[in-house]
Structure 1
């Protein structure tokens, strides 16, 4: 059997199974966040999500946190900025949006994060954008407009968009900035202690806003329903999404593992339909038909060109 026709390795099969599990864990954030709307206030949900996630991961992260304590202390301000973006805006602000929009909308809008990364990197860092990527960006942005307008051309012309959709879009932009900052980081801290440090930074950043929300008569009431939703976003959307994603990278490589974000909105739609009764609308299908191919077109790596064969190799090939 030739190498090109060999069956997939067991590691690849495990990796692809984990790929779908990871994307489902990612989707659980918007589904549980929507289920928590009007039960747990948004800042309180984000605060307790990351506080609990930090406590869950702490036993595994503690040796690395102690070993790299000086590097983490030196990166303190950067960690607070990352906490404001990754746990603050991508957490509390998105949950504010989910009080006003559907999980299906949020999943589709959030899937444009790779597009935001390309745009911000091009504008702020001067990174080159190929024509193929431009086409993908335009396609995905057209899909976002279809979601924001909810299929209503008049709403598009009046720029009368749902506030919740716009808040989720702000979260997608914040996630893009967060990702670019992480990509440019030169810290020697391994991923598990860095995850714990980011979670703790998010708790610190969210604490004053959580206090203000509590004083404004929106205190978290720790009922059974509230604790179930807080535990869900902490365990599934935070710790398990992170750990399975890291394992997926190890099995499939970063490029293929990163495509889990493209599958996430499909999981969000299915879970929202099954658990929340959110039936997909025609504008959801139109948005997905534009966003998902657009993101793939813009972000899939270009295959490396095959090296030209040396004249001696060509001669040997012709003689064979």
Structure 2
């Protein structure tokens, strides 16, 4: 009987729900850990070591796929470098620059609008159709971002004096959205672990010369025990485990349901930032949540007819 109960917990709805919560929490760990390390580890160094360690961690699982698809990977090396520049370079190092100047809560709320940005960019760039429901969601989410950028102060709009850190995180979110669209345009997608490893390695190669420049001209990464733990934490929790948990959640729940974990992650980030970093929660954060999360959900959840298709 006990074995039956354990089996039900592992394969039933509670297992899927547990994976969902785990994935959303791990996705939230990047801005929190990045903010914690921001004043100790330089931003490009943090991004470089994050993706190098993540690549080495996933490599044992990825080796078979990398060997099988090696000819295709070599043939498309320019494309992978572009993906690395967008997904690991701008969306990595630029966001860490932003986290030196803004809170993890702000960063996570701004980044939560990435699915909405994907819709907008795909509509402008590829001519994708946007339904009225999605337009309403986009306007809600963008209003939430504006509240966060202005910190709820309308006077900021008159003087156009936005926080630089928030703007850098917004650039990172836009870059991630373009990265996502380019991935979706792939005709014959690689296995997910192979793709993750290839993109991580491409990001390392793109970041390497900038990391060298930062180490020589700005400051180098201080390889102390706290720094090493920070780097390992970002690579393990925010990269490898977040990726694996999210993919497992997709396998259990489907893309439509699992993708909503992205909308829950800012709540985890706000809680962790309050508990671990001592960041205060302001009224504009609450208003941002009330606008961003329903807006993103409204814009990106599939229609009933789409969800009903096998």
TM-score normalised by the chain length of structure 1: 0.91
* Structure 2 segments unaligned to the other structure (5+ residues): 1-7
Question: Which of 240-249 and 216-225 deviates more?
Answer: 216-225
Q: After superposition, give the CA deviation of every residue in 1:75-132 in whole Å (9 maximum; x if it has no partner).
A: 1111001000110011100000000000000010000001100000000000000111
Question: Which of 33-42 and 180-189 deviates more?
Answer: 180-189
Q: Secondary structure at the match of 1:38?
A: coil
Q: After superposition, give the CA deviation of every residue in 1:34-64 in whole Å (9 maximum; x if it has no partner).
A: 0001100000000000000011111111111
Match of 1:151 in 2: 152
Matches of 2:13 and 2:72, distance apart in 1: 35
User: How does 1:12-23 map onto structure 2 within 5 Å?
Assistant: 12-23=13-24
Match of 1:100 in 2: 101
1:289 CA displacement: 0.7
RMSD: 1.7
Is 2:94–2:168's contact at 8 Å kept on the other side of the alignment?
yes
Q: Secondary structure at the match of 2:194?
A: helix
Is 2:118–2:178's contact at 8 Å kept on the other side of the alignment?
yes
Q: Secondary structure at the match of 2:12?
A: helix
Size of the aligned set, in residue pairs, is 301
1:272 CA displacement: 0.3
TM-score normalised by the chain length of structure 2: 0.94
Matches of 1:222 and 1:12, distance apart in 2: 43
User: How does 1:56-71 map onto structure 2 within 5 Å?
Assistant: 56-71=57-72
Matches of 1:10 and 1:203, distance apart in 2: 37
Is 2:256–2:307's contact at 8 Å kept on the other side of the alignment?
no
1:9 CA displacement: 9.9
Match of 2:28 in 1: 27
Mark the structure with the bigger radius of gyration.
1
1:187 CA displacement: 3.5
User: How does 1:1-320 map onto structure 2 within 5 Å?
Assistant: 10-304=11-305
Matches of 1:179 and 1:306, distance apart in 2: 21
Is 1:85–1:174's contact at 8 Å kept on the other side of the alignment?
yes
